[in-house]
Amino acid sequence: MARSRIKWQGTVAGSLMFAPYFILLVAFGIVPVVMALVTSLQPSRLNLGGGFANYLTVLQDFRFLPALINVAVFVLIYVPLMVIVVSLMSLLLDAVRSRWTVGLRAAYIVPAAISGAVSILVWYFMLEPTYSPYRDLLHAVGITEGSQIWAKPNLMLIFVMMAFATGAGNWIIVQYGSLQSIPDEILEAARIDGANGAQIALKIKLPLIRKYLVYMAILTFAAGLQVFVEPYLISSSVYTGLAKDWSLNQLSYAFAFESGDLAAASALSLMLLAVCVIFALIAIFKTDFFDESGVTKK
C-alpha cells in the first residue's frame, strides 16, 4: 500500500514537472507543424489545385538548388568545425587549472552575448576596410574596398565565421560542465595505469561525454540548416541583394512575404523539419544517446 502511494506521488510530481513543457510543446511545436501541413496542401496563387504540387513548386523553383547547395556546404563546414573546436577547447579548459580559469570561462561567453543583428554590425565594422580598427592590416594585404571582402565568393566563409563566433563560446562552457561530471576516481585510475594527459582526454573524457557531443551536433546541424539571420541582414541592409535567397530559410521567407505563396513556404519549412528530424533520429539511434547504463538508479 505504501509502495503504491509513493509510486502515485512520483507519477503526480513527474506529471506536474512535465506539464509546462508539454503545454509549450503543443502550443509552439505541434500546432504550428499541423498548421504548416494543412497550409502546404492548400491552393495557392501559383498552384490553384493545391495538394502535393506545392512541394513540386518549391523543388522546381530556380532558386531552390543554389540555396540547397549553399546550405549543404555551410552545414558541412559549420557542424564539424563546431564539434571539433568546441571539444578541443573544452578539454583544454578542463585540463588547465589555475587562477585564470574562471576569467577564461567568462571570456568564452562574451562573443556568444553578441548575437543576431548586433553580431552582423560588429562583423561588418570589423571587416569593412573604411571603418575597421584593423584597416591598416587590411590595407597592408591589399584590401582597401569593402567590395573585396563582401563579395559572393567570400560569403560562405564569412557566414560560417559569424555563426561559429556566436555559438562556440556557449557550447564550450556546456561541454566544460559535462567534463566536470566525470568522477575523479575514473581519472585517477587512468593516471595510476600510466595514461598521460592526451590519452586521458581522448580515450577517457571524450567517450564519457559523447552524449553531450551528439546533442550539440544535433542542435548545431538544425541551426546550420536553418541559417537565416546572417545572409538576410547583410543582403537587406549593408549590401542590398548580395545574399538574396542565399539560404533555404530565406527562400521560404521570400515565398511567404514577397510572393504571397504561403503554401510553398509551408512546404519548404516542412522539408527542412523533415531533414532535421531524420538527422536527429540517425544521430540518436546510431549512438547510445538514450543508453542509461551509466545512470545510477536510486
pLDDT digits (tens, 9 = 90+) for 205-225: 999 998 899 999 999 999 999
Q: Is residue 196 part of a domain?
A: yes
Give the residue from 279, 278, 271 showing the smallest Cα distance to 64: 271
Q: Is residue 207 part of a domain?
A: yes
How many Cβ atoms are within 10 Å of 193's Cβ, its own excluded? 9
pLDDT of residue 62: 93
Domains identified in the chain, total number: 1
Give the residue from 223, 222, 249, 224 showing the smallest Cα distance to 235: 249
Q: Is residue 4 part of a domain?
A: no
| Cβ 256 vs Cβ 262: under 8 Å | yes
Tell me, what amino acid is at 249? N
Higher-pLDDT residue of 118 and 205 is 205
Residue matched to cell numbers 563546431? 82
Q: Is residue 270 part of a domain?
A: yes
Residue 70 has pLDDT above 70, yes or no: yes
Q: Is residue 17 part of a domain?
A: no
Q: Is residue 78 part of a domain?
A: yes
Q: What is the dihedral of CA 237, 243, 248, 251, to 10 degrees?
A: 70
How does pLDDT run across 223-261, given as a tens digit for each residue? Answer: 999 999 889 888 887 788 888 889 999 999 999 998 889
Using DSSP's 3-state secondary structure scheme, residue 288 falls into coil
CATH number at residue 196: 1.10.3720.10
Contacts of 292 (CB under 8 A, 6+ apart): none
Residue 66 has pLDDT above 90, yes or no: yes
| Cβ 122 vs Cβ 241: under 8 Å | no
Mean pLDDT of the chain: 87
Q: Is residue 21 part of a domain?
A: no
Q: Is residue 36 part of a domain?
A: no
Residue 91 has pLDDT above 50, yes or no: yes
Domain membership of residue 139 as a residue range: 63-287
